[in-house]
């Protein structure tokens, strides 16, 4: 629950600190005293939008702090709103985002006011109320809906332009077939270049070999001349070493001559093979022109094209699998829609009867409630369109709340819903939800709020003495204007918890506008006695 609230420099509130207890606390005061600022402070702690214009005039920033406790766990929430710039949020002393703060405080406090009443007119809110009343788990339905949407997106992504896909398939098949048809081998182009050079110059090579052999081996050729020279010099005398070198050189020439004749004999002119080599080289040139600078790059392109081709050819299989999964998801969604729709239709009359019974206690005894459940085209069978219909006059057909409910009636419908629905946060704030009602209706609303406060902590901003009298604690919000000889005074708002005697005075003011009226005081004392007596009877009845 909310243990303590501290506000500084927010609107007319210079500084205020309020300790709060369990049960119901009434916040009262003159119109314009600043009660709304206390609710605004709680809205800020719940992640509400920070409005710099709410900062007290002359102050640099507004600060709101609250201590929440649930069992042994405590949270200190803090929101700082500067006169200019971005607001800051803190949780247990650590800087957090407003969203992170709201994720914690949103589960601890719930604020009802005119905005909440307007939200009640929304069909989504009415559907949520029915689901909460009936305890319907819509998680599987939501999951099935998300799964179906995701599969539809996947199928759409797999579809694409079928003609463009076929063109791409044809191109990839052609490219892979062209490369694999040639069958290039790394290093092949260099070997072919050497072979082409050899074949292209075959006749020239044979003529060169024949001429070289003639120069070396013919009579009076190099071999013969070396032999003569060695013989002239002799193997003895001063030229012996030179003669030996000439003999060795002659032997080398003889070996070279034999090699030359062998190469010359191996060279055979072959125009057909030369044409084949040249054609093969041209195929490789074409591949490199289209697919890469080298044979290695061409082969890499071919591998990538094969992968793309396999992926595109596998799309049909993926589409078939996705269609099958989509059909299963559709069946599951239909089953969940039927389950949720049946539960909503089955529980709708119970919610209507529960609301009628409570509204009868809230001085709307002639009211008729219908909870209409119908389907939408987006989710047939689920009963997504929930409409709470109201008739306050006998013989009149129930109509949507927005068309027939006054402000006071709408407030009571909202309060009745809060009483009917199970669960909820530990602290609930009602900001003038009793506006526009009085008399017996005011007494009934007061009783309903007191009954609600047996569970969660309830804070009520009210102008009704009947409501304030049943509260367990009473906080008075007062506005003070200080005197100033130099001009207008300063307006300051304070909030303080009243004692028993002070409550009588405040209730007297609320009853008659005159806290000094003896008649009003008598009436106020009677209100308090009646409230305490009723509370005691309710407590004994509960035990």
Predicted local distance difference test score (pLDDT) of residue 117: 63
Chain segment 491-543, per-residue pLDDT in tens: 788 889 999 999 999 999 998 888 878 888 899 899 898 888 776 555 445 54
Hey, where are the domains in the chain?
1-108+425-441+451-498, 163-315, 500-543
pLDDT above 90 for 479: no
pLDDT of residue 543: 46
pLDDT at 66: 95
Please determine, looking at this structure, whether the domain spanning 1-108+425-441+451-498 carries the CATH number 3.10.129.10. Answer: no
**Choice among 228-242, 341-355, 455-469, 484-498 with the minimum mean pLDDT:** 484-498
DSSP 306-346: HHHHHHHHTHHHHHHHHHHHHHHHHHHHHHHHHHHHHHHHH
Q: What is the pLDDT of residue 540?
A: 46
* Per-residue model confidence (pLDDT) at position 154: 85
Owner of token pair 């009640």 = 120
How many Cβ atoms sit within 10 Å of the Cβ of residue 305?
20
The alpha-carbon radius of gyration of the chain (Å, integer) is 49
Residue whose pair of structure tokens reads 């600078």 in the numeric block:
293
Residue 202 pLDDT greater than 60, yes or no: yes
Whether residue 487 has pLDDT greater than 50: no
The chain-wide mean pLDDT, for the chain, equals 86
Split at pLDDT 50, 70, 90, the class of 301 is: very high
The residues, any chain, with a CB within 8 Å of residue 7's CB and separated by 6 or more, are 13, 15, 16, 17, 37, 38, 41, 62, 63, 64, 65
CA 269/CA 497 separation, integer angstroms: 120
Q: How confident is the model at residue 20 (pLDDT cuts 50, 70, 90)?
A: very high
The rounded distance, in Å, linking the Cα atoms of 402 and 426 is 29
Give me the mean pLDDT over the 98-102 stretch. 91
Q: Which phi and psi (to 5°) does residue 96 adopt?
A: -135, 170
- Dist. CA 321–CA 219, nearest whole Å: 89
Q: Would you place residue 147 in the very low, low, confident or very high pLDDT band (cuts 50, 70, 90)?
A: very high
For residue 267, give Cα distances in angstroms to 110, 189, 261: 102, 22, 10
Is the pTM of the predicted complex or chain greater than 0.75?
Answer: no
In whole angstroms, give the CA distance from residue 233 to residue 243.
6
Maximal CA-CA distance, the chain: 165
Is the pLDDT at 363 greater than 60, yes or no? yes
């Amino acid at each position: 629950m909310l243990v303590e609230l501290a506000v500084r420099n927010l609107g007319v509130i210079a500084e205020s600190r309020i300790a709060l207890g369990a049960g119901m606390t009434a916040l009262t005061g003159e119109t314009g005293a600043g009660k709304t600022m206390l609710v605004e402070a709680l809205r800020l702690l719940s992640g509400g939008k920070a409005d710099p214009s709410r900062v007290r005039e002359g102050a640099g920033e507004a600060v709101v702090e609250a201590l929440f406790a649930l069992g042994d766990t405590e949270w200190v929430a803090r929101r700082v709103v500067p006169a200019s710039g971005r607001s800051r949020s803190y949780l247990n002393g650590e800087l957090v985002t407003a969203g992170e703060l709201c994720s914690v405080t949103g589960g601890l406090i719930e604020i009802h006011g005119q905005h909440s009443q307007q939200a009640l007119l929304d069909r989504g809110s009415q559907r949520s109320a029915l689901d909460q009343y009936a305890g319907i788990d819509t998680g599987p339905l939501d999951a099935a809906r998300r799964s179906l949407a995701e599969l539809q997106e996947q199928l759409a992504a797999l579809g694409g332009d079928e003609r463009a896909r076929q063109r791409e398939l044809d191109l990839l098949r052609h490219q892979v077939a062209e490369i694999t048809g040639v069958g290039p081998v790394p290093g092949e182009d260099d070997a072919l270049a050497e072979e082409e050079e050899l074949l292209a110059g075959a006749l020239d090579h044979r003529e060169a070999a024949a001429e070289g052999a003639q120069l070396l081996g013919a009579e009076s050729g190099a071999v013969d001349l070396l032999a003569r020279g060695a013989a002239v010099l002799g193997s003895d005398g001063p030229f012996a070493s030179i003669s030996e070198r000439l003999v060795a050189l002659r032997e080398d020439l003889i070996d070279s001559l034999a090699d030359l004749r062998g190469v010359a004999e191996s060279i055979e002119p072959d125009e057909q093979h030369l044409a084949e080599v040249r054609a093969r080289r041209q195929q490789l040139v074409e591949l490199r022109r289209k697919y890469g600078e080298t044979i290695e790059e061409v082969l890499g392109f071919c591998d990538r094209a094969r992968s793309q081709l396999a992926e595109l050819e596998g799309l049909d299989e993926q589409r078939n699998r996705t269609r099958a999964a989509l059909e299963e998801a559709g069946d599951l969604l239909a089953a969940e829609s039927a389950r949720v729709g049946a539960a909503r239709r089955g529980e709708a009359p119970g919610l209507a009867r529960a609301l009628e019974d409570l509204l009868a206690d809230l001085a709307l005894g002639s009211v008729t409630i219908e909870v209409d459940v119908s389907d939408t085209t987006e989710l047939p069978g689920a009963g997504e369109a929930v409409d709470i219909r109201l008739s306050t006059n006998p013989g009149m057909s129930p109509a949507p709340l927005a068309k027939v409910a006054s402000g006071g009636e709408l407030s009571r419908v909202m309060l009745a819903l809060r009483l009917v629905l199970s669960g909820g946060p530990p602290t609930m704030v009602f900001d003038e939800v009793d506006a526009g009602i009085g008399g017996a209706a005011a007494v009934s609303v007061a009783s309903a709020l007191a009954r609600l406060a047996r569970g969660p902590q309830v804070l009520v901003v009210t102008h009704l003495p009947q409501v304030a009298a049943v509260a367990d604690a009473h906080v008075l919000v007062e506005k003070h204007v200080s005197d100033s000889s130099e001009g207008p005074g300063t307006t300051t708002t304070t909030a303080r918890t009243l004692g028993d005697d002070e409550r009588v005075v405040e209730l007297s003011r609320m009853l008659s506008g005159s806290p000094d009226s003896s008649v009003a005081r008598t009436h106020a004392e009677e209100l308090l006695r009646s409230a305490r007596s009723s509370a005691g009877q309710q407590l004994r009845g509960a035990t």
